[in-house]
Amino acid sequence: MAEELFPAFLKLDGRRCLVAGAGRVAESKIESLVRCGASVRVVAPEATEAVREAARAGKIIWEQRRFEQSDLADVFLVVAATSSPELHQEIFEQAQRAGILCNAVDEPERCDFYYPAVVRRGPLQIAVSTSGHAPLLAQQIRQELEEHFGTDYGPWTEEIGRARNEMLASGVRPEERLARLRELCSARSLNEFRERHQSETGAGDGCGGKVYFLGAGPGDPELLTRKAWKILRSAGVVLHDALVPAEIVRLAPPQALICDAGKRCGEKSITQEEIHERLIAHARAGRTVVRLQGGDPLVFGRAGEEMAALRAAGVEFEIVPGVTAASAAAAAAQISLTHRQLASKLIFLSAHRCAGEFVADWKSLVTHDATYAIYMPGGNYERIARELLAAGLDGSTPCVIVSQASTPQQLILRLDLASLADAPQPPAPALLLVGEVTRAEAVEVAAAWGAGGQALANQVLG
């Protein structure tokens, strides 16, 4: 059974602490003690420039000599950070006899305490320890926590502390004080604090808030960028497209206002002008607004129109790119979109046709050394096949349809252009890849398709 540790935060202000060693390893140990206000004395024959500078600045006392037993007199704790295990053992044994806490760097058996990996946000500190077993793992966890607990947690914690002290001074009854503190520590309170802070600091050129265009990627929440995840977790308002998975939308705070801004061809839905109005209104109210769009917001989305509207209204915005569907589909099908021997061009196209939509001039685009990534094919496979064949592509040109890429419902159909007209319609979102880079297994599947037709489609789609 692993040794049970007692986690504690020590007050070191003014306490005498000793560090034996002044090399690179000792630097961070010395710095952390100085940060906490300890009276730090360092003994070592040589020292790094950083340690020498700290001594010149009066932050520490450095004595240029070897460790002596008398150095432990009146010391609260000692850190052994040299390259000598024998010296560490000597320091540890002497510290044990004197009742002094000892930490021998990278030697757990000679430690009374461990240095944790620490997230510091003002008065809020989160310490991570692996009991000396895996310091690198503790550092990785610290990095993840730093992304989740942003710098605003410091002043927010201070604000809660001031409110608590005021209630204690005014004699508020314990049960009432507890109820108020629970509310002050809620996610809603944090969001309100962020909005007040944004307003006070003048974020958004006087408009108060800010709009973030976030790429939600193809569907797998783990394909969100770290930056997108962090911003979404602090959103006050989220306007999301229809095909953004619920798992990603749920990453927003519970108190955030969630709006479905999906535009569906042929169905009554929110207008583009209404989306513009909501983005502007919420930003001017000082909120953090997330415009959450599937894939990458700059590929076949409405970001261009929305950015123009925000510019005209003087609202600040930022774009956080995401994994676009072509990349996700190619990864799912294990295809190199620009294989050096097969495709020197990658052409993105949209097959979506609603009123006013752009219609591709296929003949001007067709070339035999290209890969075509056709977004939003919908139920238009017969038309797409007809137009590509008419534009000059051969019926044996291989194709891949990838439906719901990167999700548990992912479906991959391999065929050729001649068989595309009879392809079943898999669930949206789907993407069609056309070109020689998709040829793997395409000939066999196309032959089977021609022989089995709809029976194969039913088998593949279940």
Amino acid (1-letter code) at residue 194: R
Q: What share of the chain is helix, strand, coil (3-state, %, to 5)?
A: 40, 20, 40
Catalytic residue from among 59, 230, 263, 345: 263
Q: Is 106 a catalytic residue?
A: no
Strand partners, 396: none
The CA R_g of the chain, rounded to the nearest whole Å, is 31
241 given a catalytic annotation: yes
* Burial classification of residue 42, based on how many CB atoms lie within 10 Å of its CB (0-12 exposed, 13-18 middle, 19 or more buried): buried
Catalytic residue, from 220, 241, 296, 416: name it.
241
Cis peptide before 108 (omega within 30 of 0): no
Give the closest residue to 25 by CA, choosing from 41, 48, 5, 46: 48
Query: Strands (DSSP E) along 45-157, which ranges?
Result: 61-63, 77-80, 101-104, 117-121, 124-128
DSSP letters, 395-436, are: TT-EEEEEESTTSTT-EEEEEEHHHHTT---PPSSEEEEESG
Helix, coil or strand: residue 172? coil
Structure tokens at 47: 């020292």
Residue appearing with tokens 């070191």: 12
User: CA 44, CA 171: separation in Å to the nearest integer?
Assistant: 53
CB count in 10 Å sphere of residue 438 = 28
Helices 153-170 + 174-184 axis angle, to 10: 160
d(CA 419, CA 386): 11
The neighbouring-strand residues paired with 370 are 345
How far is residue 162's CA from residue 169's CA, in Å, rounded to a whole number? Answer: 11
Q: Which residues are catalytic?
A: 241, 263
